[in-house]
Amino acid sequence: DTTKPTRRRVLLKLSGETFGGGQIGLAPDVVQRVSAEIAQAVAQGVEVAIVVGGGNFFRGAELSQRGLDRARADYMGMLGTVMNCLALQDFLEQAGVSTRVQTAITMGQVAEPYIPLRAIRHLEKGRVVIFGAGAGMPYFSTDTVAVQRSLETHCDEVLMGKNGVDGVYTADPKLDPTARKLDVLTYGDALQQGLRVVDATAFSLCMDNGVQMRVFGMGEPGNVTRALLGENIGTVVTA
Ligand code: UDP
């Protein structure tokens, strides 16, 4: 069934920074906390799909600046996301949540292949579906994949969990002391003003398809649950 879900269904994007706790490798304590917050929302009936980033292991663009072929480096980046998927799956299962991992690069021993209709079925059954390996294509980002997966699995909203900021600002608040947080924003304005908190491809894919996005901070305990339940936190970006 590919029609609209009856329950709230959302796509949560978790970046590599969350998984690494700001460092290279895995920060299990952080993944455990986030998993507990996701479990709370699942217990209240929210259908949750998750796209996982991988910047805590490799970013293709950075590796290519240090001499690697860009496409190959991007594949390394995608493989990194899968390790994060498995860590998240483990802590979610420990928290009593039923999960499936689906990857855009086939690796049958550790995950299902990405099959959209099957993903929808998992969501309907209350399983959390974790999408790994990005789009399986170099030159894309997991932010863009988050929007694509949300469209294909009919999610109501894309929730971008960010580290270090609690929403979209008029400028980078770390560099510009006059930067103001925005409560609402249009994709057109985000693109025109070059706001880089989410990448431009992701913003334009949302704009063209009328998806609502919410950008929120991962720092505040409880925010993941709040965002999943639909509380008005962070910044809402609309068409
Ligand atoms: N990547 C890619 N294609 C995709 C998704 C990701 O090539 O569809 C690679 C890219 O090299 C990227 C890395 O995987 O730098 C990790 O993903 P991303 O940087 O989006 O993770 P995040 O910033 O969320 O930690």
* Annotation: binding site for ATP: 13-16, 55, 59, 163, 169, 172
Residue 77 has pLDDT above 60, yes or no: yes
User: In the structure, what pLDDT confidence band is assigned to residue 2 with cuts at 50, 70 and 90?
Assistant: low
CATH architecture of 9-238: 3-Layer(aba) Sandwich (3.40)
54 within ligand 1 shell (Cβ under 6 A):
yes
**Which candidate, 109, 157, 152, places its Cα nearest to that of 131?**
152
Cross-strand pairs, 52: 14
Note the pTM of the prediction, 2 decimals. Answer: 0.97
* ipTM score of complex: 0.98
Q: To test the ligand 1 pocket, which listed residue (63, 81, 84) has its Cβ within 8 A of the most ligand atoms?
A: 81
Amino acid at 55: G
d(CA 202, CA 204): 6
Residues linked to residue 115 through DSSP beta bridges, in sequence order: none
Q: Is the CB of 138 under 6 A from ligand 1?
A: yes
Instruction: Please check the confidence at residue 1 and state whether its pLDDT lies above 60.
Output: no
Task: Please determine, for residue 3, whether its predicted confidence score (pLDDT) is greater than 70.
Answer: no
Per residue in 26-60, pLDDT (tens digit) is: 999 999 999 999 999 999 999 999 999 999 999 99
Cβ of 234 less than 6 Å from ligand 1:
no
Q: In 3D, which of 140, 149, 144 has the Cα closest to residue 203?
A: 144
Torsion angle (degrees, nearest 10) of CA 18, 20, 22, 28: 80
57 lines ligand 1 (CB under 6 A): no
- Cα 139 to ligand 1 centroid, rounded to whole Å: 8
* SS3 category, 116: helix
Answer whether residue 5 shows pLDDT above 80. Answer: no
- Binding site, residues? 13-16, 54-55, 59, 74, 135-142, 163, 169, 172
| Residues whose CB falls within 8 Å of the CB of residue 132, separated by 6 or more in sequence, listed in order | 52, 78, 81, 82, 84, 85, 101, 102, 103, 104, 111
Name the residue at shortest CA distance from atom 15 of ligand 1. 59
CA-nearest residue for atom 22, ligand 1, is: 53
- Beta strands at 235-238 and 157-162: parallel, antiparallel or unpaired: unpaired
The pLDDT of residue 173 is: 87
